């Protein structure tokens, strides 16, 4: 193993109290470290203390519900986050249905308010590589417009990814949100970045969640993220969810509305292709049913 006083191995040792015996780089920001106990941990290089603190607080907040499977957090600092590694297997239909039930229970655990950060987490957090501010609001339609859709729309317009002539489509959605949002619901405890890449199918037969952008929000947002990029056995996930905490009538018609936020985030990070998808979602939302 490469000897480094401030590398992944050293970080793993510092937060677990166990010597690192080997280290394998998985990407520019991730490494897998084996400890002398035989345990394997994941060491993630963060972009400053705020990012690591937000992710660690989010993982702990989700885990404390005892619902979805979450890797244990060993520690973090301004540069590193150390968690258990999840041994992965193949997606299984039974595991998917169980995950749906667990996800419903997670959401039902609730949050203090829409936009509430996890305890100990910063208000100025992240979703992926994009800044995400966890400012609270009393009702979901106004909060979603002010703190999720419009900030990323402004960023996309400033970057030229969305044209000034296209922005009014999104603004119209925000103006009509009280009528488009469906029945009022209490704040749910969200993973917040629930795309397929953050869902791990464990070798133990359970489904595990990683890399949250956790906050209080609307539970349909997590489900819309699962739909956005696809997920194995999504039909079985939804079956398990509906049996545990049935969704309000018309939820499927609101998927595009809840996808506006992640699509605009992706437009800011990755460009015009996602802006066009966001425009389609906005127009779909405004289309009479």
- Domain with residue 36: its CATH number is 3.30.200.20
Q: Is the pLDDT of residue 267 over 70?
A: yes
Q: Which of helix, strand or coil describes residue 80?
A: strand
Q: Is the pLDDT of residue 268 over 90?
A: yes
pLDDT averaged over every residue in the chain: 95
| 261/155 Cα distance (integer angstroms) | 12
Residue of higher predicted confidence among 1 and 110: 110
Tell me the catalytic residues.
193
Question: What is the reported pLDDT for 4?
Answer: 56
Give the pLDDT mean for 196-210: 96
Supply 128's token pair: 């992926």
| 147/206 Cα distance (integer angstroms) | 34
Q: Which residues contact 124 (CB under 8 A, 6 or more apart)?
A: 50, 131, 133, 134
Cβ-defined contacts of 196-201 (< 8 Å, 24+): 196/226, 196/229, 196/230, 196/231, 196/232, 197/229, 199/99, 199/226, 199/231, 200/86, 200/88, 201/88, 201/89, 201/90, 201/91, 201/92, 201/95, 201/232
| Domain limit, last residue, from 55, 84, 113 | 84
Q: 289: pLDDT confidence band, cut at 50, 70 and 90?
A: low
Question: What is the reported pLDDT for 47?
Answer: 73
| Domain limit, last residue, from 30, 64, 84 | 84
Question: What is the reported pLDDT for 78?
Answer: 87
pTM of the model: 0.94
User: Same domain, yes or no, for 27 and 102?
Assistant: no
CA-nearest of 228, 223, 219, 215 to 263 is: 228
Supply 30's token pair: 């991730």
Please give the residue range of the domain that contains residue 40. Answer: 8-84
Taking CA atoms, 150 is separated from 113, 115, 185, in Å, by 19, 15, 22
Q: Is residue 1 part of a domain?
A: no
User: Same domain, yes or no, for 70 and 112?
Assistant: no
Tens digits of residue pLDDT in 24-70: 999 989 999 999 999 999 999 977 678 899 999 999 999 999 999 99
Tens digits of residue pLDDT in 77-131: 988 999 999 999 999 999 999 999 999 999 999 999 999 999 999 999 999 889 9
Residue the block writes with tokens 């169980």: 98
Give the pLDDT mean for 156-177: 97
Q: Is the pLDDT of residue 5 over 70?
A: no
User: Same domain, yes or no, for 156 and 255?
Assistant: yes
Question: What is the reported pLDDT for 50?
Answer: 83
Cα atoms in the Cβ-side hemisphere of radius 13 Å centred on 53: 13
Question: What is the reported pLDDT for 158?
Answer: 96
């Amino acid at each position: 193993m490469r000897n480094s006083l401030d590398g992944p191995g050293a970080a793993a040792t510092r937060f677990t109290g166990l010597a690192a015996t080997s280290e394998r780089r998985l990407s520019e920001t991730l490494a897998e470290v084996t400890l002398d106990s035989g345990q394997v941990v994941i060491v993630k290089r963060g972009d400053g203390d705020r990012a690591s603190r937000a992710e660690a607080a989010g993982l702990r907040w989700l885990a404390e519900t005892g619902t979805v499977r979450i890797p244990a957090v060993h520690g973090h600092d301004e540069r590193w986050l150390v968690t258990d590694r999840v041994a992965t297997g193949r997606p299984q239909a039974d595991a998917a249905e169980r995950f749906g039930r667990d996800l419903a229970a997670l959401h039902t655990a609730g949050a203090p308010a829409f936009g509430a950060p996890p305890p100990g987490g910063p208000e100025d957090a992240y979703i992926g590589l994009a800044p995400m501010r966890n400012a609270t609001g009393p009702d979901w339609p106004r909060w979603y417009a002010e703190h999720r859709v419009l900030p990323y729309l402004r960023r996309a317009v400033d970057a030229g990814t969305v044209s000034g002539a296209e922005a009014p489509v999104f603004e119209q959605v925000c103006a009509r949100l009280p009528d488009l949002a469906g029945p009022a619901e209490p704040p749910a405890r969200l993973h917040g970045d629930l795309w397929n890449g953050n869902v791990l199918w464990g070798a133990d037969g359970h489904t595990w969640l990683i890399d949250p952008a956790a906050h209080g929000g609307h539970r349909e947002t997590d489900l819309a993220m699962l739909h956005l990029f696809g997920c194995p056995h999504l039909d079985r996930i939804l079956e398990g969810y509906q049996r545990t905490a049935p969704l309000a009538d018309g939820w499927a018609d609101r998927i595009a509305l809840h996808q506006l936020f992640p699509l605009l985030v992706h437009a800011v990070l990755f460009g015009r292709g996602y802006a066009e998808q966001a425009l389609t979602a906005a127009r779909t939302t405004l289309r009479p049913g």
